[in-house]
Amino acid sequence: MARPYRSVLYIPAANTRAMEKARTLPADAIIFDLEDAVAPAEKLHARELLARALLADYGGRARIVRINGLETEWGEADARAFARDADGVLIPKVSRGASLDRAAALIPTTPLWAMLETPEGMLKAAEIAAHPRLTGMVMGTNDLAKDLHARFRPDRAPLVAGLGLCLLAARAHGRIIVDGVYNAFQDQAGLRAECEQGRDMGFDGKTLIHPDQLDIANEVFAPSEAEIELARRQIAAFDQARAQGLGVAVLDGRIVENLHAETARATLAMAEAIARSAS
Ligand SMILES: CC(C)(COP(=O)(O)OP(=O)(O)OC[C@H]1O[C@@H](n2cnc3c(N)ncnc32)[C@H](O)[C@@H]1OP(=O)(O)O)[C@@H](O)C(=O)NCCC(=O)NCCSC(=O)C[C@H](O)C(=O)O
Ligand SMILES: [Mg+2]
């Protein structure tokens, strides 16, 4: 069944106030971060705080834990601590498919997610996406820009090749894929433009760093009323054509074929999933 990942909010696991607040925020998913948002001196404390926080009710929000890399002194214990109590475990800086094998052994049943944020990860996106235990992919555009020596630009031109490779890989293997963060969390117009770019490329949603970014991501990544109405009309027109023994319908001067009807049905399924998650 379709599940929305329009808005995926990072929360530093050392921040108890933010973890509590997130229980009422309109996020489709939360990433509780033990990695880059937690200082080394706080790592063990953050792990304890997060274990306690996850006992609380987060409603329908997917609870994903970003652990420290398995090559670090904290990663393996993080993995063991959250192998059962999260809805997903997110492994940072995954650069090849085999990097997920160790995580898969430590975390036998909980869905695995991978951060795609290194140049090697872009080049190996297909083998990462093909890993049988993988559920979703998250773009780490800050780390990627750093490793590429790229500059931040509104059109994200330096990152587009990597974003595209990861999208191709995710779609080829049926994985969820969520775009990277927009750092200037008070710049609503810039966030909207970047969400629209990500949506148009094909991402399921955007990772976010501040509650003020939630409404824009939820709006941009949801089907609009006009899209829902068009989808209903496309399905009706196609069904009618089929009933007449035709393979193609024409609606508003455009063809509607089976593939368009499939997209229309996916649009309606997502709209229903969003409505369910809001109720
Ligand atoms: C960016 C922030 C440090 C700003 O924090 P702050 O100054 O406290 O913000 P506000 O005063 O405006 O906060 C208002 C209220 O909202 C709550 N809050 C703030 N942020 C969050 C959040 N992320 N989730 C839930 N709630 C949040 C505050 O507690 C205030 O509540 P109240 O007391 O009721 O008024 C801060 O937003 C922050 O730390 N954001 C997350 C940063 C983070 O997680 N970074 C790591 C992930 S990004 C990354 O690593 C990407 C990737 O790997 C890559 O390579 O690109
Ligand atoms: Mg990163």
Q: Report the percent of the chain where pLDDT is more than 70.
A: 100
Q: Where are the domains of the chain?
A: 7-220, 225-278
At 28-41, the pLDDT tens digits run 999 999 999 999 99
Pocket of ligand 1 contains residue 194 by CB under 6 Å: no
- Look at ligand 1, atom 40, and give the residue with the nearest C-alpha: 209
> Which pair of tokens denotes residue 148?
């590429």
Q: Tokens standing for 54?
A: 């996850």
Distance 68 CA to ligand 2 centre (A): 11
For residue range 80-102, what is the model confidence (pLDDT) as tens digits? 999 988 999 999 999 999 999 99
Does ligand 1 come within 6 angstroms of the Cβ of 121? no
Residue type, 180: G
* 3-state SS record for 200-230: HHCCCEEEECCHHHHHHHHHHCCCCHHHHHH
Distance from the alpha carbon of residue 107 to the mean position of ligand 1, in angstroms: 28
Q: What is the CA(210)–ligand 1 centre distance, in A?
A: 5
Q: Give the C-alpha distances (Å, rounded to integers) separating 20 from 10, 48, 212.
A: 13, 15, 16
Structure tokens at 199: 């949506």
C-alpha span between 222 and 231 (Å, rounded): 13
pLDDT tens digits along 211-250: 999 999 999 999 999 999 999 999 999 999 999 999 999 9
Q: What DSSP string describes 23-43?
A: GGS--SEEEEESSTTS-GGGH
- The CATH superfamily label for domain 7-220 reads Phosphoenolpyruvate-binding domains (3.20.20.60)
Would the annotation count 73 as a binding residue?
A: no
- Residue 229 among known ligand-binding residues: no
Q: What confidence tens digit (pLDDT) does each residue in 196-212 have?
A: 999 999 999 999 999 99
At residue 7's C-alpha, the angle toward residues 23 and 171, to 5°, is 135
pLDDT score of 12 more than 90:
yes
**Interacting residues of 45 by C-beta distance below 8 A, sequence separation 6+:** 14
| Cβ atoms of residues 25 and 9 within 8 Å | yes
Is this complex scored with an ipTM above 0.90? yes
Report which DSSP code applies to 267. H
